[in-house]
Amino acid sequence: MNKLPDPDMPVAEGHDQWFRKQVADAVREADNPGTEWVSHDTILQDIADQRAALQARLKGHAG
């Protein structure tokens, strides 16, 4: 799925092919009716929850 470019290919050409495949895969996934979308607000809340949990863990080990 996320294969790296062929190491024998010139770097720019290999990266271009890899990048174009990544974009095509992403567009195909976005167009799939079965794709589950997550709202920006949900992501922000998840990040805040993870940060709070990590800070609590760090505070517990600071002593």
Q: Measure Cα distances from 1 to 18, 23, 25, 52, 56 in Å.
A: 10, 12, 9, 33, 37
Per-residue pLDDT of 2-22, as tens digits, reads: 676 667 767 788 889 999 999
For the whole prediction, is pTM greater than 0.85? Answer: no
pLDDT reported for residue 2? 62
pLDDT cut 90: percent of the chain above it:
65
DSSP-derived letter for residue 8 is T
pLDDT reported for residue 1? 55
- Per the structure block, which two tokens stand in for 19? 């990048």
* DSSP line for 9-36: S-HHHHHHHHHHHHHHHHHHHHH-TTPP
Residue of 54 and 61 predicted with greater confidence: 54
